[in-house]
Homo-oligomer: A and B are copies of this chain.
Amino acid sequence: MSTAALPLQPPPVVEPAGEAAPAFSPLYQQIKALITRELQAGVWKPGESIPSELDLAARFKVSQGTVRKAIDELAAENLLVRRQGKGTFVATHSERQIQYRFLRLEPDDGVARDMERRLIDCRRVRAPADVARALDGKSGDSVVQLRRLLLAQGRPVVFDEIWLPGGLFKGLSAERLSDYKGPMYGMFETEFGVRMIRADEKIRALAADAAVAEWLAVPQGAPLLSVERLSFTYGDKPVELRRGLYNTEQHFYRNALS
């Protein structure tokens, strides 16, 4: 409905100034941008289906093939999910199958089990300088800081420390977190309308300090995997900084290169 008649600016075929400008935008890229705007605006909610390709083609006054190419790219970026015969759906972190979309940890014995989530604490604090910088905010901004453990078969494997912009997560509390069943990113979607689209991780090895050693039940100085993740929502806006410390004695971080 909000995508009514739309003029679809005729492709800005040539730019006036002969600079190093984009200077050309295929129709399907424009369509893609329009669809992304609708997603961002929440016109279609995570898990819901978007209009059919023919619908969208009619709305945008382009051929089905052009809409198709736009959707293809959005599906490749994991913003949409195609299901033959059923429709195209808005991606979500709430579904069983893709529950741990961003967690690359696997047990050595290969059997993927569910992990237990145990919240340690959840506080509102003033952002330290490095956290503020990562989240595109100012030092001293209000942020939600939470810490938690992930346990496999009762044994702690991951210690997570998470920072979220206070403005986006008003009302987030230890109670609400504990009450919520399902993955954290699913909760962020449904309760706060914040959808994690992509993330960047920086990984290093470091020695456990006294506090973390206790949480993970390893000796002080034990080598741990440090995974610093910055997650982004639409428009490449950073909305979560997370630092995980992984005990990799019986698990490993998997990565596929191509």
Give chain A's interface residues, CB within 8 Å of chain B.
76-78, 101-102, 104, 197-207, 221-226, 229, 246, 248, 251-258
Q: Check B204–A253 contact: CB distance below 8 A.
A: yes
Q: Check B200–A203 contact: CB distance below 8 A.
A: no
Distance to closest chain B CB from A98 (angstroms): 12
Closest 5 CB pairs of A and B: A204-B248, A223-B223, A205-B205, A205-B223, A203-B253
CB neighbours (8 Å) of A246 from chain B are 205
CB neighbours (8 Å) of A223 from chain B are 205-207, 223-224
* Docked complex Cα distance between A258 and B201 (Å): 11
CB neighbours (8 Å) of A77 from chain B are 258
Q: Check B225–A204 contact: CB distance below 8 A.
A: yes
Distance to closest chain B CB from A178 (angstroms): 26
CB neighbours (8 Å) of A207 from chain B are 222-223
Q: Check A203–B225 contact: CB distance below 8 A.
A: yes
* Docked complex Cα distance between A35 and B258 (Å): 18
- Each complex incorporates copies of this chain amounting to 2
Name the residue on B nearest A224 (C-beta). Answer: B205
Distance to closest chain B CB from A169 (angstroms): 21
* Docked complex Cα distance between A254 and B226 (Å): 12
Distance to closest chain B CB from A152 (angstroms): 15
Distance to closest chain B CB from A154 (angstroms): 21
Q: Check B78–A202 contact: CB distance below 8 A.
A: no
CB neighbours (8 Å) of A254 from chain B are 200-203
A248-B205 contact, Cβ under 8 Å, with A223-B224, A255-B255: yes
Q: Check B258–A203 contact: CB distance below 8 A.
A: no
CB neighbours (8 Å) of A76 from chain B are 76
